[in-house]
Structures are given as structure tokens and as C-alpha cells.
Amino acid sequence: MSASHANPVDETETLRARLADAEDMLRAIRQGEIDALVVEGDRGNQVYTLHSADEPYRNLVEQMQEGAVALTSRGDILYANARFAAMVGEPLESVVGSRVERFVNQADREEFASLLDAGSGRRRSRLVGADPRAFEVSLSLTTTASADRVNLIVSDLSEILEATSSRDRAQRDNRTKDEFLAILAHELRSPLAAISGAVRVLELAHVRETPAVRAHEVITRQVGHISHLIEELLDVERVASGKIRLARQPLDLAAAVRRTVGTFTSDTALDRRIEIITDPVWVEWDTVRLDQVLTNILTNAVKYTPAGGRIRVALRAEGGDAVLSVEDTGFGITPRMLPFVFDMYAQADRTLERAQGGLGIGLTLVRRLIELHGGTIVASSEGEGHGSTFTVRLTQVPAGASPGPSAPPERRTAHRRVLLIEDNADARDMLRMMLELAGHVVYDAPDGVRGLELLDTVRPDVGIIDIGLPRMDGYQVARKIRDVPHGREMLLLALTGYDSPGEAQAPSEHAFDHHLVKPVDPDQLVRLLNEGARAAGAPVQFGTACRVS
């Protein structure tokens, strides 16, 4: 045997030693005690990272918008991503190695410790960092398979809470605005009711002196103007909030256009020339809203057309559409203003010399009502001084049976005994006088308590009751009247300065038969008194009144 040959015993021992080393290394790899291997080879030593497969996940964690933290079961931070360090406002090197509880708000540490002891779960908590102000977070904790580490995901809730707070604030502001508008309408309608009643009294009293007639015309016109502004303002809010109800039916659009134009041309004071051309066209619309749209468009044309100007109204069928155009020779619309002409509160010129009145919401309401019916409206103008054209495009429907304009109701009514309960003295006096002049017997009271005292004494046929009464509101009064045998047969009418679609749609829920919005429409009141009284009523001495003060 040559000396160069190795001893077989030594070779065996060497192999056994290497095998033992390999087994120790394999055990260490399995138990996570080795992060990398250095392998000797022809190209030198090469390092193989055992966690190289984790690199995409590490990148993903670093790019997260949530904070990610790896902790020991005691709460020591082994790893934190950059987002968590940014949350607490400290450098990453000062975060890793520290206890996580130092970033937990003092008042929340006990609850956080219970989460850490549980090893998994979700909690709402507050963290602090370089900025001593605590911020809201959502914590999600899981435990690794080896049970010696826990993973914590931290979601900053600040932006979500701010958005929620902003939404709640916007909703609160919107409710406040609605309440303000309701109160404003109520406060304006109460004096309007008194003025309107005074107008009706003058009319029924057959005053013929020229100054009185002139005063009557002025009051009538101005009350109508104020009432229109109130309704227009409330209508915009109803449309914007989706609270408006539409009763659509086939309508003769040509007849509606001619009727609206007729209300303008019949005004002898109107010094503008209005031309009208119509084709027979039908649409499916809400009758009241159609009249409102047509009136607003015509009013706008008259408002911005100077004396002696011309307004041309044309209705034609075009394909499957009905096209209405209103063209005027008025002030026109500047290119700067044209894109905003349908915006809320927009008016072409607010200078004192050209002030035209109104709130600047009429065209906003027109556009929204047209859009609710599936139509469009556009405005065009060659510029200031060249007039303007508003073009409405609606969907045609087959011609149907037109309901036609209803005849004005007969003013004369069956005579009734009326219990009137109204706390506004002027409005009460005027409505009482108006009813007395119509031949009714009126018993009035300023509040519900005194009104109820009259119930058994006078046994009225009709109760007209203000909702906003002192001491006992109108709903309570109405329910007490219904509790009395005679009261179950009475016609109960609510007077309200508020605008409540719920009340108008379901008055029976409040013991009333009908709701009347101030100022009361005399024609509507006549109709209700004629058609709705439940009790025939005993003979009475007409034109007398009983008042409880």
C-alpha cells in the first residue's frame, strides 16, 4: 500500500463529521436559526439568503398604507414598516427595539395589554407619538405559527372620522337650513294671511271708490308677488332634496302655452308685444308644475325685455320631441354669464339701475323641474343687447283627453257655523270678517283652550284651527274635538304657515280633514265649505259673531 493512500478509518470519521454538521445545519435552518448560507465554490464564496422568497412580501408590507409591526409576545418591536414610523412621527431606528406600549395612549394601555395577551383580535384604540395628541386607530393582531411572535396591523382612522364628521356636519347644516326656511315661510305667511284677508274683505264689501280700488289692486299684486317668492324658494329646496311629488298625466302643451301667454297679454299694463305660434303637441307632465315652468320662463322674458320690446313664443313638434322656444329682444346675456344662467341665485345684472327683483332662483327651479320630467332646457344669446332665447325640449306622448281649464268656483257657499282658532289677531280678524261677509256665523278664540270652551256651547259645523297655537297646538285641539261626539261630524281645516308635505298628504293622521297653507286661497276655502261639511247644521242667524277674548 502506498503512503499516498488515505487511511480508510480517517476518511470514515471525516464523512461522519461532515454529516453531523449537515444535520445540525438542517436543524438550524428548520428552526429559523440561520438567515443565510455561505457556499464555497469555483467562483468563490456565495451567500444564499434563506428569506429571499419573502422579499416581494417585504416590499408589499413597506408599501402598505397601514402600519405593520412584528412584536414579541411581551410587546417588544422586532420590525416596523415605514408607515408605522410615520404614524408615530419617529425615525424607524428609534421605533424598532422599543416597547409598543409607549406608543399607546395611556388610557388605552390596559385594553391593549388584554389584546396582546389574547394573541389575536381587533380593537379600536388611540396612539401617540412625537405629537402628544392621540389619534384614533384600528388594531388587528395575529400570532405566528411558532407562537413567539405576533403581527400587528395599524389602520389610521383620522381621515375616515374627519369625513364622517364633515358628512354629519353637512347633514346638520342642511337640517338647520330646512328649519330656517320653514320658520321663515311661517313668519312671512302669517302677516300675508292678514293682508290677504283684508283684500278679500275689501272685495266682499264692494268698495267702489277709486283710491280704495287702487289700493286693493296694489295689495293684491304685492301679496301675490311675496307668496310667489316664498313658494319658489321652498320649491327649489323640495326639488333639491327629492321631496317633490309629481302627478303626471297627458296634457295639451299647446293649450297650456296659450293659457299662460294669455295671462300676460290680458295685463293692460304690459307694454311688450308677445307673439305666439303653436303646433298641437301633447306631453306627460304634472299640471301644476307645467304652469309653473311656463310662467317662470315668460316672466323671465318680460323681466329682461324693456318696454316696447318683442317676445316670440313658438311650439313645434320635432321628431319625437316637443320643442318650445321663448325668444326676446331684451337685454341679452353676456358670454361670461351664459354658462351660469341656470345656477342658484344667478341674475344677469344686479346693479341698482337694472335691478329686476326676484331671488335669482326661478330658472334654477325651471331647469330642475324640466329634468325631473325627462326634458332639457338651454339658453342662448348673441351677447348683451341682443336678446336671448330659451329652448325647452320635452318628450311627446299621444294625444289624450284634456281635462281642460276648470271653471272658477262659485263664491257663494252654504252658510255654516264656524269655530275659528287663530292666535294672530290681525289674521283672525280678517278671516273672521271674510267669513262673515260670506254669510257664515263665526265664533273665534285666540287659543285652543278657549276655543274648546265654545265647542259644546255653539256646536259648530266647521273648525278652522291654526297649527302653531300657544298652550296647546292645533293637532292637540283637533284630537280633543274628535273625542267629543259632535266633533266627530265636524269639518276640521288646519291653518299652517309651515310647508309640510307630510301634513298635506295625510291630514287624517292628525284628525284634520284638510290643511290650508297661509294665506288661505278663498276659492279653495269656498270649495271645502261647500263640499266637505259633514253636518248640515241647524238654522242660524246669519252675519253674527261670538268672540272669546
| Residues 87 and 145 reside in one and the same domain | yes
Residues 373-400 have pLDDT tens digits of: 999 999 999 988 899 999 999 999 998 7
Q: Which domain holds residue 485?
A: 169-244+411-549
pLDDT of residue 72: 86
Q: In what order do the strands lie in the sheet with 121-127?
A: 77-80, 67-72, 149-156, 135-143, 121-127
Structurally, how many domains does the chain consist of? 4
Residue type, 290: L
What does the pLDDT look like over 415-456, one tens digit per residue?
889 999 998 887 788 888 888 888 888 999 999 999 998 888
Q: Which residue has the higher pLDDT, 519 or 68?
A: 68
- Report d(CA 252, CA 401) in Å as an integer: 9
- What pLDDT digit, counting tens, does each position of 304-359 carry? 899 889 999 999 999 899 999 999 999 999 898 888 888 765 555 433 334 444 44
Which of 364, 395, 426 is the last residue in one of the domains?
395
**pLDDT tens for residues 93-114?**
888 888 898 999 988 999 999 9
Query: What are residue 233's phi and psi, to 5 degrees?
Result: -60, -45
pTM of the model: 0.45
Provide the pLDDT for residue 284: 94
Q: Is residue 299 part of a domain?
A: yes
DSSP for 313-345, please give it.
EEEEEETTEEEEEEEE-SS---TTTGGGTTSTT
* CATH number of 445's domain: 3.40.50.2300
56, part of any domain: no
Average pLDDT rounded to a whole number, residues 126-146: 85
Q: What pLDDT score does 462 carry?
A: 93
Does residue 126 share a domain with residue 181? no
Q: Does the structure show a pLDDT above 90 at 505?
A: no
The answer on 422 and 359 residing in a single domain is no
284 close to 251: Cβ distance less than 8 angstroms = yes
For residue 443, what is the enclosing H or E element? strand 441-445
Residues 67 and 89 in one domain: yes
User: pLDDT-based confidence at 501, cuts 50/70/90?
Assistant: very low
The whole-number average pLDDT for the span 465-477 is 89
pLDDT at 28: 61
Q: Considering the domain boundaries, does residue 318 fall inside one?
A: yes
C-alpha cell at 540: 242660524
Are residues 87 and 140 both part of a single domain?
yes
The predicted-structure confidence for 445-462, as pLDDT tens digits, reads as follows: 999 999 998 888 888 999
What confidence score (pLDDT) does residue 431 get?
85
Burial letters for 129-140: b for 16+ Cβ neighbours within 10 Å, e otherwise? beeeebbebebe
pLDDT (average), residues 28-50: 55
